[in-house]
Amino acid sequence: MDQLISAYLIKLRREHPFFATLSLYMRYEFDDRIRQFTTDGRTARLNPRYLSNLKASERVGTLLHLTLHCALNHPRRCGSRIAEIWNIAADIVVNQ
């Protein structure tokens, strides 16, 4: 699994150095108990089975998605908002 993260960081460094720099500040953990992936704003938690079943381009997209959520501080900015609606709105912003 660490090889997948390393490959992601190398690809990002070559193609999008700004986002690669943001990604270097994140921690990555693998957890079989989660369905796909999540972040608390600092750590990306990923289901290793889910991640390994993705195509390389999908892995990059998924990890970049988490990086942008962290960079924009989405998990911590939710506050008293309805979490499910906040997550959808944050996804719309990240996926633009």
In this predicted model, what pLDDT tens digit does every residue of 35-92 receive, in sequence order? 999 999 999 999 999 999 999 899 999 999 999 999 999 999 999 999 999 999 999 9
Q: What is the pLDDT of residue 36?
A: 96
Q: Which two tokens stand for residue 36?
A: 């796909």
DSSP label of 71: H
Q: Determine the Cα–Cα distance for residues 84 and 96; give it in Å rounded to an integer.
A: 19
Q: Determine the Cα–Cα distance for residues 63 and 50; give it in Å rounded to an integer.
A: 12
Where along the chain do its domains lie?
A: 2-94
Pick the CATH number of 2-94 from 3.90.1070, 1.10.3450, 3.30.2010, 1.10.3210: 3.30.2010
The pTM of the full predicted model, rounded to 2 decimals, is 0.85
